[in-house]
Structure 1
Amino acid sequence: MDHLVYATPDLAPTVAEVERLLGVKPAEGGRHVGLGTRNHLLGLGGRSYLEIIGPDPEQPHPGAPRPFGIDTLDAPRLVAWAVEPDDLDATVAASRARGYDPGTPFAMSRRTPSGDLLEWRLAFAAEPDPVIPFLIDWGTTPHPRRPCRSPSSPPSAPPTRTPTWPCRACPRSAPPWRYGTRPRPPWSPSSPTG
């Protein structure tokens, strides 16, 4: 898992509430110029993080709906999750060959508060299913998890790598990055470390 997306209609109070509940202040991520959003990030361990995304009051309304249904939310909620396959284009092709279209990859970017440019590619299904993750490829950009603090691990926790896909054990109708019907949490009693 790369990250979870927690969308909100009002970013500042949601970030404050997450900090109050977890005791760790989410790091400012940056603005998504043209989309009317900005985000804050909180490390979840390894390379995984929580993205808290909401309207950016310093940007004009984008003229189209903001991503993740932000304009229709009346309260914060978990809306999506992302995985980073080793090869985004190959994963999209393999998924389409199995009968599922995760969307056509497209480029995005944003500046960090320090001015660094992050560039990545995404693939979203035309009709998203919150159980099925969207795909992300960070390319050569430093992973945004790096400056995030985590409530459960020190900032210097070593990065982990997503398994190589497509998963040969998956049924042909399942997206190639899905193993079974839901991801197994690392604290699951049946996991090797649990």
Structure 2
Amino acid sequence: MDTIPPALDHLVLATPDLAATVADFTERTGVVPAAGGVHVGLGTRNHLVALGGGGYLEIVGPDPEQSDPEGPRPFGVDGLAGPRTVTWAIRTTDLDATIASARARGYDPGPAIPMSRRTPEGTLLRWRLTDSAAHPSGLVPFLIDWGTSVHPSASGLPTTPLLKLSATTPVPEEIQPVLSALGTELVLTRGPVGMSYTLDTPRGPVTFDASSICR
């Protein structure tokens, strides 16, 4: 099995302190993540790094310039003690059909949800996705369809190529059928729930484990 899942769109590194996590990423890798944009009304903003192959890493955390949102911030940011890779996404060009196909194969990824954010340059990006919390482990990807918006990885982001991606879970055989229903794959081994991936950087390979960057 290839260690890069088919149709990988992005990995989500969530953090309670966005500035600190971006600074740590920069120190460890030698690459400065680009400002992505603000999720208005959700209380978050992000920074991005391209992973090659049309994928990217999203570092997302609270936006200090927004008021507290009415509900919890996305990706469980409010409950995190530190940075953690919480989930991932696969892309599709026909979200409704992909949802229907997954349901026919026994997994319901949830309904399509419209989202948007404005880039620092003022461009409004619109996309549709399924609920990232549809599967509590975070190891099952959510679906995303960028429609007519320019994909973030095509916007001149700094790049740290993704070398490998894997995950651990107490019961891998429970996750594999769901991945198959979504038409993707992920290298799974037995262990505590968590994701691990290695990036190629100017300072050599850097591996992210379940909670942080490690050399």
TM-score, length basis structure 1: 0.80
Supply the AA of the counterpart residue of 1:175: A
What amino acid sits opposite 2:158 in the alignment?
R
Matched pairs, number: 169
Matched, 1:84 2:91: yes
Q: Percent identity?
A: 57
1:70 and 1:87 map into 2 onto residues whose CA distance is: 29
Match of 1:112 in 2: 119
- The 1:171/1:81 distance shift into structure 2, 3 A limit, reads closer
Q: Corresponding residue for 2:46?
A: 39
Are 1:53 and 2:57 matched, yes or no? no
Alpha-carbon separation, structure 2, partners of 1:173 and 1:85: 14
CA contact (8 A) 1:98 1:173 kept: no
Provide the residue aligned with 2:82 in structure 1: 75
Within 5 A, what are the aligned runs for 1:17-166? 17-124=24-131, 126-145=134-153, 146-152=155-161
Q: Distance in 2 between matches of 1:62 and 1:172?
A: 32
Is the CA contact (8 Å cut-off) linking 2:140 and 2:179 kept in structure 1? no
Task: State how 1:161-176 maps to structure 2 within 5 Å.
Answer: 174-176=180-182
User: Following TM superposition, by how much is the alpha carbon of 1:152 offset from its aligned partner in structure 2, in angstroms?
Assistant: 4.1
Corresponding letter in the other structure for 1:13: A
**CA RMSD for the aligned pairs?**
2.4
Deviation at 1:15, TM superposition (A): 0.4
Is the Cα–Cα contact under 8 Å of residues 15 and 21 in structure 2 kept in the other structure? yes
The structure carrying a bigger helix percent of its residues is: 2
Q: In 2, are the aligned partners of 1:11 and 1:53 still within 8 Å (CA)?
A: yes
Asked whether the equivalents of residues 105 and 122 of structure 1 are also in contact (C-alpha less than 8 Å), the reply is yes
Go from structure 1 to structure 2 and tell me whether the alpha carbon gap of 1:141 and 1:28 turns closer, same or farther (over 3 Å shift).
same
Amino acid at match of 1:178: T
Q: Which amino acid aligns with 1:137?
A: D
CA drift of 1:147 comes to 2.5
Structure 2 unmatched ranges of 5 or more: 1-7, 163-175, 189-196, 198-215
Cα distance in structure 1, aligned partners of 2:186 and 2:22: 33
Correspondence 1:179-190 to 2 at 5 A: 179=185, 182=188
Is the contact made by 1:27 and 1:147 (CA closer than 8 Å) also made in structure 2? no
Shift of residue 172, structure 1, vs aligned partner = 8.6
Aligned counterparts of 1:3 and 1:173: Cα–Cα separation in 2:
16
Q: Which residue of the other structure, out of 2, 7, 12, is the alignment partner of 2:19?
A: 12
Q: CA deviation at 1:25?
A: 0.4
In structure 2, the residue corresponding to 1:63 is in which secondary structure? coil
Structure having the larger proportion of residues in strand: 2
Gaps of 5+ in 1: 154-169, 186-194
**CA displacement at 1:46 relative to structure 2:** 2.4
- Distance in 1 between the 2:106 and 2:96 partners? 16
Contact 2:93 2:147 in 1 (8 A): no
Letter in 2 for 1:99: G
